[in-house]
Amino acid sequence: MTIFQDQSIPGITYPEKLEKWFLSENGIKVHQGLTVKRSDLGGAGIFFKATEDDFKKNDDIELVRIPSHCALDYMSLLHILEVVKNDEDKHEPKSFKESDIIKCVIKSIEPQGEMEIVFAYIVSFAICKELRHGNYNSNSILRRFDPYLDVLQTTPTIGTPDGDFFQDNVVNSMTILFRRLQHSYQKIKEGMVQLGVWHEQLISLNSYVKLYQAVNSRVLEIPHESHSESQPDEDEFYTNVTLVPFLDFANHNSDILNNSYYDVDRKTRDIVLVFKSSFISEKEVEVTICYSPTESIPHFIRTYGFIPENQSVQLLEMKLTDECIDRHVNRIQGTKDIPYHLIMKWLHISPRYQLVVFPESVYINYFNNNLPLIFVDGLKYDPNWKQTACKKFTDSEVDVTEFDFKESILPILQEQEDNYDFIVGVDQVAAMVGSTYPNPDSILESVGRTDDQYFEALVAKCTTLIQDVMQESLSCTPAETSTGIPFADLSWNYKAYMDHVSKLLLTAISNGSDVVLPFNLANKEWETIYRTHPKIMDFE
């Protein structure tokens, strides 16, 4: 059979070589009605045309079976490193040890999580592949990954932050990641120089960044069975972040519209791609899986580099700037020059809010969100908090002098007030109600108003704040249509998406609709998994 019938598939340079690698060299089994070609969803995609036998079945249809040895996670990659080292012990390389390359790259990257461990190995494999062009280690066992490395290295991605792009906290977080990648790239370069193998064509910064994005967008969480010693008869599962060749050609669709899913055969540990029988059709259809049951737009942008079409529900988290908080809250409260953004840091009030976006409506999710508390009556900022904090420390049982406080403790507190979301490690000594300093957990008690009616009034003011911020955002620079630069285009698509959401919400408010997310639509995961944790100082 011929899987790659289209000769111009994005990310696939050598289709015949790759097909041989999939089927012959790695034993991947593919349904006869399956092909891979260019997708309208972006890049390559898997397509399926059902056969007569498929229509006779009542069960879901197995499309692809991938042997477990093809999957690349931190455990299998560690095993590969051990095999490489053992091979080097038996056959001393003429020039360099590939195990040294792998260890150098891992040390340079300092991986933060499983995905970056996988990325580190892939980068080291790519470097070894390039070195083999100079006839180094031409018999390396890593050569078996070359066809798949070709796919990863040519996967269309958003690339580096270039061009005139829209900036907000989500896009800025991507530029921060880029700077971290620049740093690790430089460390890899220095490490390769020390190993005596560096040359300018080994791997460029742009290729390094694109490889990160390719791995990040293609990994999946694959379940593994684990038996508990205390309860041997009960099955337990854990997941590993994994690259699964061939399966990673499957594009995303929403949780209610995707027509396929992947699973693990518990007997063979093969990974299987399965088509849902309820979606069978006489026409050829693109095979889609669900990357995430909840479409968090910031997550999709940062991880996959695109914004999915809204088929059911999506989440959009927004962050208020310090200037925006101070200006709007002062106006709504009828106060002047109160630094409310600093009060929020001391009272542990998050500057973020979450919007729940349906195709035709938008709600503000106030569950597990204390942003309305910034509108508690009588809040003010104590500009003399440093003296109060100093007295608390010097009067405590801890042996701290005034000099110790000014030299060691105050700089830490000031750093938190300047650059962090919350101030931790000290009693709350800056936000006041009257003459008291309320605890972050008892702000409402400090004003003697814990009734629902009062909190609803705070929510109404907070909704006005969000409404005004959205109205202001719409009056700013309109979204560009196309710049021709992938990173910039994605940022402007994101701006257009936010503008669309803003218009939906503002229209609902002007029509008198209630835009507060009702209890019957709420989801616990939205309040926990899909909220950004506040930035706090790590004292470890």
pTM of the model: 0.91
Domain count, the chain: 3
234: in domain: no
> Are 59 and 14 in the same domain?
yes
Going residue by residue through the chain (540 aa), what tens digit of pLDDT does each one get? 689 877 788 888 889 999 999 999 999 999 999 999 999 998 999 999 999 999 998 899 999 999 999 999 999 999 999 999 998 888 776 678 999 999 999 999 999 999 999 999 999 999 999 988 766 666 788 999 999 999 999 999 999 998 888 888 999 999 999 999 999 999 999 999 999 999 888 999 999 999 999 999 999 999 988 765 555 555 678 899 999 999 999 999 998 899 999 999 999 999 999 999 999 999 999 999 999 989 999 999 999 999 999 999 999 999 999 999 999 999 999 999 999 999 999 999 999 999 999 999 999 999 999 999 999 999 999 999 999 999 989 988 778 899 999 999 999 999 999 999 999 988 999 999 999 999 988 899 999 999 999 999 999 999 999 999 999 999 876 666 678 899 999 999 999 999 999 999 999 999 999 999 999 999 999 998 999 999 999 887
Among residues 218, 235, 264, the one where a domain terminates is 218
Report how far residue 194's alpha carbon sits from residue 101's, in angstroms, rounded to the nearest whole number. 11
Domain region containing 180: 74-218
307: in domain: no
Report how far residue 372's alpha carbon sits from residue 455's, in angstroms, rounded to the nearest whole number. 8
537: in domain: no
> Are 133 and 197 in the same domain?
yes
**CA proximity to 192, closest of 132, 263, 124, 258:** 124
Sheet containing 361-365: order of strands: 295-296, 314-319, 352-358, 361-365
CATH number assigned to the domain comprising residue 251:
2.170.270
231: in domain: no
> Are 284 and 330 in the same domain?
no
pLDDT of residue 94: 65
CA-based end-to-end distance of the chain? 57
> Are 354 and 496 in the same domain?
yes
> Are 377 and 514 in the same domain?
yes
| Tokens standing for residue 201 | 């064509």
> Are 187 and 54 in the same domain?
no
pLDDT of residue 483: 80
The secondary structure of 16-82, three-state, reads: HHHHHHHHHHCCCEECCCEEEEECCCCCEEEEECCCHHHHHCCCCEEEEEECHHHCECHHHHHHHHH
> Are 391 and 269 in the same domain?
no
> Are 421 and 509 in the same domain?
yes
> Are 53 and 193 in the same domain?
no
224: in domain: no
| Tokens standing for residue 338 | 């109160």
173: in domain: yes
| Tokens standing for residue 239 | 């997941």
pLDDT of residue 1: 64
Report how far residue 315's alpha carbon sits from residue 490's, in angstroms, rounded to the nearest whole number. 18
> Are 84 and 60 in the same domain?
no
478: in domain: yes
Among residues 183, 218, 253, the one where a domain terminates is 218
**Inter-CA distances, 537 with 320, 419, 423, Å:** 20, 9, 8
Which DSSP letter does residue 221 get? Answer: E
Among residues 230, 259, 291, the one where a domain terminates is 291
Beta-bridge partner residues of 355? 316, 364
Q: Are 289 and 260 in contact (CB under 8 A)?
A: yes
> Are 78 and 58 in the same domain?
no
pLDDT of residue 225: 80
> Are 87 and 202 in the same domain?
yes
495: in domain: yes
